[in-house]
Amino acid sequence: MRKPLIALALLLVVASAATAWYLLRQQQTASAPPASATTGVIRPGEPAAIAHPIAPPPTDQPLPALTESDAPFAEALAMVLDNPSFSALLNPNNLIRHVVATVDNLPRRKVPVEQRPMMPLTSPFAADGDEVSGVISAANYARYDGLVQALASLDVPKAVALYKRFYPLFQRAYQDIGFPDGYFNDRLVAVIDHLLATPSPAEPLKLVRPNVFYEYADPQLEALSAGQKLLIRMGPAHRATVKSRLTALKSELTR
């Protein structure tokens, strides 16, 4: 098992916005980047219409360029999180780009380590058993205590307001990774639905270790996405808390 913080990255997608008509106009007038400038392809069947448009609040403060957004966004995010220990876990470089890339990759099998917006956990993955097989240890669930507590105390309306203010930068980053006609907020809502569909397997969770890293003994669990496997790895109590906050986040995003 690797040491990820991918699912919680979802809750870092917090910022607030330029106008919806501005975003629509940008999508209609901006030419698609050349193939060599993208790192992906348009997802087959991706809807052309925007299902969950962002309704922006009025603001007189211009947004920085995406390449210059790390410090302003991190400062604004720290005010919303109001948790210095949690803010210290953020990777301050290319923060919005990494959040967007991580969100987009959560339903896939892997999330590239270099694209994660948070630092890895310092404590190692904990399992009870031998070098061949075992079960996830309760001590492993405790690794996520601080992060889940911070998440539980998050003011979701304030977080979404911040997301809306910075939304044009999230949209630009999403287009840059290979989705020039995609709409990031629709992708975010779809990923939240994917995470909410994470199963709740019976404890203890059996593991095997065919190589360096542990894997789930149940092939159906091992076949899950990176995001769903992380929620399972956090333990039943933490998983319930994260799902509750994701439900609240989706409600606010689709209001």
Instruction: Convert the pLDDT of each residue in 167-222 to its tens digit.
Output: 999 999 999 999 999 999 999 999 999 999 999 999 999 999 888 888 999 999 99
* CA–CA distance, 41 with 33 (Å, rounded to integer): 12
- Whether residue 132 is contained in a domain is answered as no
Q: With contact defined as beta carbons under 8 Å apart, do 23 and 185 qualify?
A: no
pTM for this predicted structure: 0.78
End-to-end CA distance of the chain: 37
Residue 67: predicted pLDDT: 95
Residue 25: predicted pLDDT: 37
Residue 205: predicted pLDDT: 93
- Whether residue 40 is contained in a domain is answered as yes
- Domains of the chain: total: 1
Residue 94: predicted pLDDT: 92
Residue 161: predicted pLDDT: 93
Residue 207 has φ and ψ, to the nearest 5°, of: -125, 155
- Whether residue 184 is contained in a domain is answered as yes
> What stretches of the chain show up as alpha helix (H) in DSSP?
6-9, 20-29, 70-81, 84-87, 95-105, 138-142, 145-152, 156-165, 167-176, 184-196, 219-222, 226-233, 236-253
Residue 23: predicted pLDDT: 35
- The single-letter DSSP state of residue 69 is -
Residue 22: predicted pLDDT: 32
- Whether residue 217 is contained in a domain is answered as no
> What domain range is 33 assigned to?
6-122+142-200+235-253
Residues (pLDDT < 50) of the chain are: 1-45, 47
Task: Give just the sign of the alpha carbon dihedral 207, 210, 212, 215.
Answer: negative
Residue 86: predicted pLDDT: 63
Residue 152: predicted pLDDT: 87
- If one counts every other C-beta atom within 10 angstroms of the C-beta of residue 39, the result is 8
* CA–CA distance, 13 with 254 (Å, rounded to integer): 14
* CA–CA distance, 81 with 138 (Å, rounded to integer): 27
Give SS3 for 172.
Answer: helix
Q: Which has the closest alpha carbon to 88: 150, 136, 137, 132? A: 150
- Whether residue 136 is contained in a domain is answered as no
* CA–CA distance, 49 with 195 (Å, rounded to integer): 23
* CA–CA distance, 147 with 235 (Å, rounded to integer): 13
- Whether residue 219 is contained in a domain is answered as no
- Whether residue 211 is contained in a domain is answered as no
- Whether residue 110 is contained in a domain is answered as yes
